[in-house]
Amino acid sequence: MGKTIAEKILSGHSGRDAHAGDIVVAEIDLAMVQDGTGPLTIQKLQGLGLEKVANPESTVLFIDHAAPSPRKELSNAHKILREFAQKTGVQLSEVGGGICHQILVESFVRPGDVVVGADSHTCTSGALGAFATGMGSTDVAIVIASGKTWFRVPETIKILINGELPYGVYAKDLILHIIGLIGADGATYKALEFTGETIQDMIMSERFTLCNMAVEAGAKTGLINSDEITRAFLKAQGREEDFRIVKSDEDASYERIIEIDASLLEPMVSLPHEVDNVKPVGEVEGTKVDQVFIGSCTNGRIEDLRVAAHILKGNRCYPGTRLLICPASRGVYLQVVKEGLLDTMIAAGAAILNTGCGPCVGVHQGILADGEVCLSTQNRNFKGRMGNPESFIYLCSPATAAASAIEGKITDPREYL
Amino acid sequence: MILRGKAHKFGDDISTDLIAPGRLFHLRTNLPELAKHVLEDADPNFAKKVKPGDLIVAGKNFGLGSSREHAAAIIKLAGVGGVLARSFARIFYRNAINVGLPALICDTSQIDQGDELQVDIEKGKIRNLTKEMVIETKPLPKVMLNILEDGGLIEHFKKHGKFKLD
């Protein structure tokens, strides 16, 4: 019997013939924590009496969630990470570097790797054909100490997507549609494999958006076969030698197959307070927005910001509507500057935030007032997510976000493209 | 492992943002303080009314969202004896066991607020003492039961030096 990507990678890393449902102990290629989860990981390692790290070269600490620090408690948390890095020789990504998941795909993850991170959106890296999943601080502590963890090999749901995405419809709209279809727990404990013509033609940036949100359907990871598009992406990062072919077998066994015709999709919006509360933009058009956020590990890449800038060019944000734009990494930020997009954004009235998670986590930069509405390109709209349980978050693509910032209300972006 | 306590009922999709809000991010290095706010955005009085050993009883997808282990840790710190839910988000599920908080998947539809429960974690048997009925469910996978019985993943690893799968 053939194998899914998850079964292949976990077989290779556990030294046994692993199939869905098996419990295996796997070697881990890359482990990471961020400033919200890392201090607890370090505290746990100290509790183990183990400050020696199994693989310092492939252990990365990111300061991205509250970067730069807005208050002293978080400054002290950052200090714990910096001191641990100095003591053990693990990698540290400082303030200004950017969001962990973006830097992982730019500089660290290779197709075929097993990646664990103390951050739920670690599944983003699955777009490179890596088995990448989020875990808690203690699980990652044990990985840092021992280089291993246990997994239940997940069943895989194949999402077979054919047809061309219509103009103005993006991977974000596609993944919101899928989550609306299967629900916020539709893939719990499972892996999602995205495949089909639409995926074969999809650029890496959009593939990252898809896999990033696999966890919003409960999935352990989202996966895509590696191919020439993957190779070209790695080459552009100066690491073509990391490319490997990783693909599922033709006769692999799937828990179920969901077929989607991409050509029928429209721009989609997720409504408060659940990600799977998804509607076509037409059904919420006209909803007044107080703040628009373009950024995050879901949609803060150069391709996203190009779309936003294209729509914003020559326009101004609606009076009273705040627009926050946050490039996902230093590399993305530099490219934004190089391409002259910054001028367009600033002239349109946007506030540009330093790279990082920005307002998505509710810790700083753009916390909403009671009763306010934010339209965001991030991945979550749970009550309280952006720092105020009395506010309302809608999720959409960068195009919908930019068009809505100009109108001051939720707007179909196709009128602006 | 036998748990006994009163049920505190919650609905579906209780996110880690509702359990450990992002606006209290700065308290993550001060768990006793963060525990005073546990589940605050789902039930503002929960931390005040929960008694040691009480059980959280929820619908589907409990603990969805962020990987913050602090969510499971402060439920335990607040004195909760365990969580029963129709399903758990997978990161929360592992986190709970890793911090030594019993978490069991079962049909919770027959349990009401305030019901007195007795839970046999090993056998997967829940006795609703108030309603005089028994709910049977699948016990935890062996590796998770081993971690839980050792008091959490750090203690498990200290004791065995590896994962004990069976």
Contact state of A362 with B95 under an 8 Å Cβ cutoff: no
Residue among A138, A145, A189 minimizing CB distance to B90: A189
For residue A147, give the nearest of A230, A16, A59, A256 by alpha carbon: A59
Instruction: Determine the Cα–Cα distance for residues A341 and A139; give it in Å rounded to an integer.
Output: 41
Q: pLDDT value at position A47?
A: 86
- Chain center to CA of B37: 16
Option in A40, A76, A149 nearest B69 (CB): A40
Residues of chain B with Cβ-Cβ distance to A150 below 8 Å are 143, 163, 165
The whole-angstrom separation of Cα B13 and Cα A115 is: 27
**Rounded average pLDDT per 10-residue block, chain A, 417 residues:** 96 98 98 98 90 92 97 97 97 98 98 98 98 98 97 98 98 98 97 98 98 98 98 98 98 98 98 98 98 98 98 98 98 98 98 97 96 98 96 98 98 96
Q: Rg of chain A's alpha carbons, rounded to an integer?
A: 20
Report the CATH fold assignment for B2-160.
Answer: Aconitase; domain 4 (3.20.19)
Q: Where are the beta strands (DSSP E) in A283-350?
A: 291-294, 322-325
Instruction: Please check whether residue A348 is in contact with residue A312, taking contact to mean a CB–CB distance below 8 angstroms.
Output: yes
Q: Quick one: A104 and A132 in the same domain?
A: yes
What does pTM read for this prediction?
0.97
Q: Which domain holds residue A359?
A: 270-415
- In sequence order, what are the beta bridge partners of A329? A98
**Residue A72 and residue A215 share a domain:** yes
Q: Are residues A103 and A132 in the same domain?
A: yes
Residue A391's identity, in one-letter code, is S
pLDDT, tens only, A30-77: 999 999 999 999 999 998 887 779 999 999 999 999 999 999 999 999
* Residue labelled with tokens 């919650």: B10
Distance CA A415, CA B13 (A): 36
Q: Are A148 and A181 in contact (CB under 8 A)?
A: no
Chain A nearest CA to B134, separation (Å): 27
Residues A49 and A116 in one domain: yes
pLDDT at A48: 86
Chain A residues touching B25 at Cβ < 8 A: 36, 65-66, 74, 361-363
Same domain, A161 and A290: no
Do A144 and A215 lie in one domain? The reply is yes
Handedness of CA A387, A391, A394, A398 (dihedral sign): negative
Q: Are residues A239 and A120 located together in one domain of the fold?
A: yes
Question: Hunting for tokens 């914003």 — which residue is that?
Answer: A312
Predicted pLDDT of residue A386: 97
CATH of the domain at A148: 3.30.499.10
User: Is residue A289 located within the same domain as residue A255?
Assistant: no
- Tell me whether residues B29 and A77 touch, CB distance under 8 A: yes
Pair A63, A82 in one domain: yes
Q: Are B25 and A64 in contact (CB under 8 A)?
A: no
Give me the number of domains chain A comprises: 2
Terminal Cα-to-Cα distance of chain B (whole angstroms): 17
| Domain boundary pick from A214, A241, A261 | A261
pLDDT at B122: 94
pLDDT tens profile A88-121: 999 999 999 999 999 999 999 999 999 999 999 9
Per-residue pLDDT 10s for chain B (166 aa) are 999 999 999 999 999 999 999 999 999 999 999 999 999 999 999 999 999 999 999 999 999 999 999 999 999 999 999 999 999 999 999 999 999 999 999 999 999 999 999 999 999 999 999 999 999 999 999 999 999 999 999 999 999 999 999 8
Residue B22: which of A368, A100, A129 has the closest Cα?
A368
Angle of CA points A101, A384, B42, to nearest 5°: 125
DSSP label at A32?
A: E
CB count within 10 Å of CB A267 equals 25
Structure tokens at B107: 């049909």
A238 and A126, same domain (yes or no): yes
pLDDT score, position A52: 79
Tens digits of residue pLDDT in B37-85: 999 999 999 999 999 999 999 999 999 999 999 999 999 999 999 999 9
Rounded Cα distance, B46 and B68, in Å: 20
Same domain for A233 and A297? Answer: no
Q: Cis ω on the peptide bond leading into residue B156 (within 30° of 0)?
A: no
Q: Which residue from A66, A117, A382 is facing B17, i.e. has the nearest CB?
A: A382
